[in-house]
Amino acid sequence: MKKIALALLLGSVCFSSVLLATPAAIPATSGSAKQPTIEQIKQSAENGDSAAQFLLGELYFKGSGVSQDSSMAAQWFIKAGDQGNSDAQFRLGTMYVNGFGVRRDYDKAMLWYEQAAQKGDTRAETNMAMMYAQGLGVAQDVKKAAFWFRKAAQGGNVIAQFNIGQMYSVGSGVDVDHEKAVFWFRKAAKQRDAKSQDRLGVMYSEGKGVSKSLRQAYAWLATAVYSGNKESHKLQDKIAAQLDEEELQQAKQLADNYIKTYGFTQS
């Protein structure tokens, strides 16, 4: 069995969180903003409302208000997915990848991801890229992996932005292009992605795709450490040793600004 991990791209096919869809057909109660009951959601789902079907699947998957039942969750996701609900289609793709409530089936996973991707779901596009990178359910094809990572990255997906940056930095599925790598690392770094902040710091320290700047390198590496990438402190310390006192104070001030703006705090 193939391990679901991308050593090169430092990513994985995962069950990403999504916003719960609000069932459109659930009747309002006395003009109040009360949340619908489980019975209301079930009734709306049984009447064919795809948003309610997706929500009911979520509740079964998480065991929220009902007994946890991945198999039942999959059944409701299938009903919603068949009606074109992209959240359900994404969920089904990931359930088939991982074998949650269904028998693991990479071919079916890809089919559901493709349907969600057609509607612009960047999570599905990202996981499709990962599957192409590993050859899960499809022939391994790093060029197609790069295509889908780039598409998802353009849609704002931070995981895809980091991965396409990695691909440009090493020339996997695309020609080596350090400027494009820096472009995507910066996009993801500004979304508080610690790995991208680390890579951006490395690029500044080496002058690849950007003018060399130890001050910028120090600041981004400090931000990466704050955001959870503890290994970044090693290069950060080496850079600090190369700066004089005034330069180090400037680098620390810049780091404070970046941390306030782009630092990730675990809630």
Q: Would you say residue 187 lies in a domain?
A: yes
SS3 58: helix
Q: Would you say residue 190 lies in a domain?
A: yes
Q: Would you say residue 216 lies in a domain?
A: yes
Q: How many domains does the chain have?
A: 1
Q: Would you say residue 65 lies in a domain?
A: no
Q: Would you say residue 192 lies in a domain?
A: yes
> Which domain covers residue 246, as residue numbers?
177-267
Q: Would you say residue 138 lies in a domain?
A: no
Q: pLDDT 10s digit of each residue in the chain, 267 long?
A: 343 333 333 333 333 333 233 334 334 444 446 789 999 999 999 999 999 999 999 999 999 999 999 999 999 999 999 999 999 999 999 999 999 999 999 999 999 999 999 999 999 999 999 999 999 989 999 999 999 999 999 999 999 999 999 999 999 999 999 999 999 999 999 999 999 999 999 999 999 999 999 999 999 999 999 999 999 999 999 999 999 999 999 999 999 999 999 999 876
Closest CA to 81 of 105, 104, 35, 114: 114
CA-based radius of gyration for the chain:
22
Closest CA to 130 of 104, 152, 108: 152
| Helix segments in 70-213, DSSP class H | 70-82, 86-98, 106-118, 122-134, 142-154, 158-170, 178-189, 194-206
Q: Would you say residue 229 lies in a domain?
A: yes
Q: Would you say residue 196 lies in a domain?
A: yes
Structure-block tokens of residue 22? 């609000």
pTM: 0.86
